[in-house]
Amino acid sequence: MTPQEMEANIVRYGDLKPCRTAFIDAHTPGSDQKENFTVIGGGVSEAADQHVHITETPGFNIGAAGQPPKCRNSLHSHRTAEVFFVLKGRWRFFWGRWGKAGEVVLEEGDIFNIPTGIFRGFENIGTDYGMIMAILGGDDAGGGVIWAPQVIEEAQAHGLVLSEEGKLYDTKKGADLPDGVGPMPLLTDDELKAYPEPTTADVIPGYVARYWDLVALADKEPAQVIGETGVLRDKPGFEVAFLTRASATPEMHEHDRPSVLMPVKGHWHLTWEGGESTLAPGDTALVPANVSHTATPSMSGEAALYHVVGTDDPAGATWTG
């Protein structure tokens, strides 16, 4: 694999192209400064103008959300996994029908495997622009977003209408739903009963892993973060590992399917048969299947990296085995 071919599989943080109209709350005060990024795969954006950096999906999608301080993402749910790790800033995640069932604050490097089937939202509570990276289960990322009814109702008051096909129409720009296409129906009271209201104590122990705990666990070999035997036990169709300087190895290896490297701290030297490159925090590298490679810190100082690889497990609800 040539350096040019590999570079086409690397999305640099500085080259990320944001979409500011990706979701139904794009005009809603408090959420109208969000930026959505689709890094690998089409993600769950509802906007036709969302830029997709790499269309190939390795059984999961990679995305990101960037928000200034006090900006929030509205309450929604997914049918497959939604995993976030904090790249920059300080973030509050909250969940429940009205966002009051529980909450947790995450710092840089912390990771959250949000249980499927609950409404969740998040906001930047830091003092500067923040970024969180996302892993979404399935090639089609679960088929889209399920919004809490109040989110759809409030969005309509600000000119955005979501069709039953999951596409956005901005009435302030003169757009109307096509003939024969209705608006996205609101969840009924009976349907809403299927969405649980777990407490903070229910969620944090099995779904949140802290950066410094993972650093300690990765002192001799990569720490398994998400997987059947991971710190966060789940089988969402992919596994997530965590590497540090102490557990990185120069020995080359390969996978029988594509894998993704996502640095969170420090610079990393990616080497493969055919070339080498350097990855920085916020960069995302898709390494093709059967390409022998390795990643090691390229300079002194703190270094940590998340590694994602698909499995044969089907994408779906959070595993409870």
| Domains of the chain: residue spans and CATH | 13-208 (2.60.120.10), 211-310 (2.60.120.10)
- The Cα 64–Cα 95 span in angstroms is 19
- Predicted confidence at residue 21, as pLDDT, reads 86
pTM passes above 0.85: yes
- Predicted confidence at residue 320, as pLDDT, reads 82
For the chain, the helix, strand and coil percentages under 3-state DSSP, each to the nearest 5 = 15, 35, 50
pLDDT tens-digit series, residues 118-176: 999 999 999 999 999 999 999 988 778 999 999 999 999 999 999 998 888 998 888 88
- Predicted confidence at residue 116, as pLDDT, reads 96
- Predicted confidence at residue 48, as pLDDT, reads 77
- Predicted confidence at residue 224, as pLDDT, reads 98
Low-confidence stretches of the chain (pLDDT < 50) are none
- Predicted confidence at residue 47, as pLDDT, reads 78
Sheet with 60-67, edge to edge strand ranges: 52-54, 35-40, 60-67, 130-137, 82-88, 111-114, 208-209
Contact 138, 311 (CB under 8 A): no
- The Cα 54–Cα 40 span in angstroms is 5
- The Cα 43–Cα 82 span in angstroms is 11
- Predicted confidence at residue 142, as pLDDT, reads 74
Mean of the per-residue pLDDT values of the chain: 95
